[in-house]
Structure 1
Amino acid sequence: MTDNWFDRFFRDKDGNIVIGQLPNPPLLVWAIASVLQLVFKTGAIYTGLDIIALIAIVIWALAELFQGVNYFRRSLGLIVLIATIASRLS
């Protein structure tokens, strides 16, 4: 296997191209909380789900940023983290 930009960015340590993976627990929690927010649109339950979703996606993004299997996954974690922070500041 050659060591070019594509390989370093998209391949894991075993040489497999990794773009998507099975969802890990924080991503599943974020997805479930986000879907439930469509059902509970106001009130304390919505606020609680919003906090749970926020914490879960930040944990997922940080895990990808620091432990991602390749540079693509790490970049994805950084992009999601920045987008999450930016969405909360606006």
Structure 2
Amino acid sequence: MGFFTDSLGRQTIAQKPNAPILGWALLGAASFMALEEQNRERLRTASAVCLAVWAVLEVVSGQSGFRRSAGALTLSWLWRKP
């Protein structure tokens, strides 16, 4: 098994997006369009939660070393973010 392939030898860098990563993207885009600061902050928080869920899922069950590393790096970035 290589860094970019799963146990069956399939490439696992670019895959169909799952629900948490779609939620992160959609909520993040919506936060830019929100008119009130309170709504912007709520959308940003919800977006960050979706990204954290995605990262945990990748660390726990990512199909390749690359995906697990991407999840771990994302979690470390979210952890240090004020």
The answer to whether the superposition gives a TM-score over 0.5 is yes
Q: % of aligned pairs identical?
A: 28
User: In the alignment, which residue of structure 2 is the partner of 1:13?
Assistant: 7
User: In the alignment, which residue of structure 2 is the partner of 1:30?
Assistant: 24
Larger radius of gyration: 1
Question: How far apart are 1:41 and its partner, in Å?
Answer: 5.4
Corresponding pairs, count = 82
1:43 aligns with 2:37: yes
Q: 1:61 aligns with which of 39, 55, 61?
A: 55
Q: CA RMSD in A?
A: 1.3
User: In the alignment, which residue of structure 2 is the partner of 1:3?
Assistant: none
- 1:20 aligns to what SS in structure 2? coil
| Runs (4+) off by over 3 Å | none
Give per-residue Cα distances to partners, 1:13-59, cap 9 Å, x unaligned.
11112112111000000000110111115422112101211110000
TM-score (norm 1): 0.83
TM-score (norm 2): 0.90
Equivalent-residue separation in structure 2 for 1:42 and 1:67 (angstroms): 38
Question: Can you give the 5+ residue segments of structure 1 that lack an aligned partner in the other structure?
Answer: 1-6
